[in-house]
Amino acid sequence: MNDLFAALQSGTRTQLSVQACVLHGFALPFEDALLAGIATIADAAPFRHLVTPGGHAMQVAMTNSGRFGWCSDRRGYRYDRSDPQTGKPWPVLPDAFLRLARDAAAEAGFDGYLPDACLINRYAPGTRLSLHQDRDEDDRVAPIVSVSLGLPATFLLGGFARGDACVRVPLAHGDVVVWGGADRMRFHGVLPVKPGLHPRTGEARFNLTFRKVK
């Protein structure tokens, strides 16, 4: 997406489904705090390529912040209170992260959102995230708030069965997506990130997903 189109889109909303919408540019006022927060979190809990239960290293590098962190290894997927790599609790959610998540959820019609986990994904050019559902949270109704930073990507939004058709959703730096209610359990993924250099993140796309786990 070019800069002019991005600027025109900023502040608008795209309704993807009944309870799923993109808030274009909603995170832009928070960008400095978000990038600083990611750096601080990654100092304490470094990005790593988790291994799937099938034994494959994931292309996306991940870390977490909040009371719970998403983990994967040969034993399965789960949320842990501490980072298995350091044995320490996950870094606390920065105030600016919580404020953005709450404001975006409210803007999308979900008042009083208080997430207890933030999964941070880092994509290098060429990295993709295959089609999946987020089903490891106890709370399957609370919305998920997703924040895109850095290189753009094409998000795939599917249906409730793996084989259902997908729509392609372009996501740019500063875009926020809120998914609630029924739409929460849709299959979704990310196409390989195209090579590029972003002024704020270099050769990387970051995605924060706020979740309510317990």
Structure tokens at 7: 């600027």
For the bound state, the minimum distance from the C-beta of residue 86 to ligand MD3, rounded and expressed in Å, comes to 21
Q: Which helix (H) or strand (E) holds 80?
A: strand 76-80
Q: Which does 64 bind (CB under 5 to 8 A by kind): Fe ion, ligand MD3, none?
A: none
**What residues make contact with ligand MD3 under the rule CB under 6 A?**
119, 121, 129, 134, 144, 146, 155, 177, 179, 183-184, 186, 188, 190, 207, 209
Q: Which does 83 bind (CB under 5 to 8 A by kind): Fe ion, ligand MD3, none?
A: none
Nearer to ligand MD3, 87 or 117 (CB): 117
For the bound state, the minimum distance from the C-beta of residue 186 to ligand MD3, rounded and expressed in Å, comes to 4
Nearer to ligand MD3, 89 or 181 (CB): 181
Q: Which does 9 bind (CB under 5 to 8 A by kind): ligand MD3, Fe ion, none?
A: none
For the bound state, the minimum distance from the C-beta of residue 114 to ligand MD3, rounded and expressed in Å, comes to 18
Nearer to Fe ion, 9 or 71 (CB): 71
Nearer to ligand MD3, 21 or 119 (CB): 119
Q: How far apart are CA 125 and CA 209, in angstroms?
A: 20
List residues bridging with 170 in a β-sheet: 154
Q: How far apart are CA 92 and CA 192, in angstroms?
A: 30
Q: How far apart are CA 149 and CA 207, in angstroms?
A: 6
At residue 119's C-alpha, the angle toward residues 16 and 182, to 5°, is 35
Q: How far apart are CA 160 and CA 182, in angstroms?
A: 10
| Among positions 50, 83, 108, 134, the unique one binding Fe ion when judged by CB under 5 A | 134
For the bound state, the minimum distance from the C-beta of residue 185 to Fe ion, rounded and expressed in Å, comes to 11
Residue 88: is it exposed, middle or buried by C-beta count within 10 angstroms (0-12/13-18/19+)? exposed
Instruction: Compute CA 10 distance to the chain's CA centroid, rounded to the nearest angstrom.
Output: 19
> Which residues contribute to the site for Fe ion (CB under 5 A)?
134
